[in-house]
Chains A and B, each alone.
Chain A
Amino acid sequence: MHSTSRGITRRWALGAVALSLLTASVMAPRAWADDANTTGLAVTPSEVTVGQLHSATGTMAISETGSIQAERLAIEQINAQGGVLGRQIKIIQEDGASDWPTFAEKARKLLVNDKVATVFGCWTSASRKAVLPVFEQQNGLLYYPTFYEGLEQSKNVIYTGQEATQQILASLDWIAKTKGAKSFYLIGSDYIWPRTSMKIARKHIENVLHGEVVGEDYYPLGNTQFGSLINKVKLKKPDVVFAAVVGGSNVAFYKQLKAAGVTSAKQTLLTLSVTEDELLGIGGENMAGFYASMKYFQSLDNPNNQAFVAAFKAKYGPNAVIGDVTQAAYLGPWLWKAAVEKAGSFDVDKVVAASPGIELKTAPEGYVKIHENHHLWSKTRIGEVQPDGQFKVVYESDLIEPNPFPKGYQ
């Protein structure tokens, strides 16, 4: 009898525990729902879950690694300062594996299954285009770090990199003014970003600068033979070669330029696609004296940047380099934090509503501000390639308004 009653008690106790656990797990999201989270996001009193969606494997892993690292660094720093609305940020990292449908699938998983408060991610335009419908349909929030072609503006995306006109117009003006450039040769890898960028460049050159485009060429992604192109450049003798070649092609392009005797002593070249990351593969000595147009260079001389570079190297080793996109990715978590705190809530609609006008005075690139159109006000800088793989900043524009749908350039 005694033993039986004990058995029953134990069974009861077990049952009660199980039941309470079940209730807890079912009720959990709602139990903690407060003003900071009315939409069932993965937010507890002590923790908020965010997603990170980049390619850790595949061909794009080379480029996206820097973004992954920068976002992690920013989140770590935010957590060390006490988190967001008193909550520590927890990251769920997913691998897009350089494959667009995987990006869409993982985005859906993060939003639907993990109910993350926001996502930091994507790199290529193609991956962004693939996840965009998912974010719009599920009403998620994405911070996208890469400079890109523009022609897009979504309620659910904050673009922390430059859109094409920001990157292109000021730098063309500068090169026309300082180098007296009148003729341009446009070269790009064959996909939407270079093509759109070159289209904008051509309109600006022809309509505003009253210069001439003497050649425009696109090569397949991954192409490694640029001999004919270089000969065409030699034939046309443009004042400026304006280049947006990406990936493995980049390295081949600049090595072969140098081998053919097309160096900065003979030819002015301005590129949209070489950051410190790419220089590591190309080798600074192969590109010395050429110009790149970016909003950020690792060598920027300001206290924000010095602290950022130091922290980045402390975490990822002294040889780590920081390119434009890496810095833009670093801004993402900070911009989100500021918007959440302004809204007093993690709810996507409230964060989105609070975003325009958010300023970041501590950004490594200096000062940024979110525009109504979800892009950032930022400066354009021209860097001259140094043999050691860094850039010397030779020009800095004023703060430029983002204009993703430029009239007259489409």
Chain B
Amino acid sequence: MAWLTEFGAIAAMQAFNGLSVFCVLLLMALGLAIIFGQMGVINMAHGEFLTVGAYTTYVLSGLTLHYAPSLQPYYFFLAIVVAFVIAGALGWLVEWAMISRLYHRPLDTLLATWGLSLVMQQALRSIFGAREVSAELPEWLMGSFSLTDAIDIPRNGLFTVAVTLLLTGGLFLLLFRSRWGLHVRATMQNRVMSRAVGIDTRRVDRMTFALGCGVAGVAGAVFTTIGSTGPTAGSLYIVDTFLTVVFGGAASLLGTIASAFAIAQTQSISEFFMSGSMAKVLTLSAVILILLLRPQGLFASKVRK
């Protein structure tokens, strides 16, 4: 009987772990899904925008500790907003200087943004040093809630889940319920026509790219609670992120969510039964195999050519 309760507790925690891995994956992939899905642009520097968000949080944590220690418990909310703004603004600049000149050449965007990611990594290294840093986290984000004696739910995990839910919800509202979202979707479907009906498609592109980068910034801020912050931290995530988006079917936000869920659960469950390395190989291989059989991804709308 005791064995059963314990088993239940582990199962519950493992389920939560799957959920939080899912949220981490989704957070990373959301920004990319917007940019890739809506604009067809491959942003290889996506990971670096994430890193920018993480360093923003780190800097803000230092500033709060120094100037307003009493606000330390709350700075994290501010950090998320500032990370969004800074990463977004940077994205806006990059779109203006680079991406806007490379539409219709998706493979070239991929290569140019790879160059950008090298430059950004070195810039971060020059500014913050090569060493990994750690943002001072508020007390309420650390530790866990003990539901029962055996079940501990990590607070940072809960926080990640909450932010992911809010962000995803917000994005859905923005894209499917706002006028701006309508413009984005219209531009994606038919650029020429959208321009003809008076949509400033260049502006829409720029804002979409900035939004995607901003979301990456938020992801970066949240990741300071679970991982490390270093100049190359973002590049660790990039391939998983791309796979998530492609696996989901590039044009579909819903697909991205489904694929993040599938990948996260596979990873989380297989990790429980085998070594982490093998679990990773198994998960990635499964994704590739399915992609080989169904290259359009999980969710792809049939469009009449």
Contacts and interface: CB of A to CB of B under 8 A. Distances in A.
Contacts of B223: 224
B41 interface: no
A219 B130 contact: no
Chain A: interface secondary structure? helix
Interface stretch (A130-138, A163-171, A279-287): A279-287
Interface stretch (A38-46, A253-261, A301-309): A253-261
Interface string B11-31: 001101110110010000000
B295 interface: no
A62 B232 CA distance: 11
A190 B237 CA distance: 18
A256 B154 contact: yes
A229 B227 contact: no
A261 B152 contact: yes
Interface residues of A, number: 39
Interface in A222-259: 222-225, 227-232, 234-235, 248, 250-252, 255-256, 258-259
A261 B157 CA distance: 12
A248 B233 contact: yes
A180 interface: no
A20 interface: no
Nearest to A232: B272
A312 interface: no
Contact of B230 (A216, A263, A281, A286): A281
Contacts of B269: 228
Nearest to A216: B275
A28 interface: no
Contacts of A223: 276, 280
B268 A227 contact: yes
A252 B227 contact: yes
Contact of A217 (B20, B24, B226, B276): B276
Given A218-B277, A225-B21, A261-B146, A252 B228 contact: yes
Interface string B191-213: 00000000000000000000000
Interface stretch (B105-113, B131-139, B174-182): B131-139
B225 interface: yes
A225 B267 contact: yes
B143 interface: yes
Contacts of A224: 223, 226-228, 236-237
Of A61, A219, A251, A281, chain B has the most CB atoms within 10 Å of the CB of A251
Interface string B24-67: 10000000000000000000000000000000000000000000
B280 A259 contact: no
9 contacts: A227-B16, A228-B268, A229-B276, A231-B14, A248-B230, A259-B143, A259-B226, A261-B146, A283-B136
Interface of A: 59, 61-62, 65, 190, 216-220, 222-225, 227-232, 234-235, 248, 250-252, 255-256, 258-261, 263, 277, 280-283, 286
Interface of B: 6, 10, 13-14, 16-18, 20-21, 24, 130-134, 136, 142-144, 146, 152, 154-157, 223, 225-228, 230, 232-233, 236-237, 267-269, 271-272, 275-277, 279-280
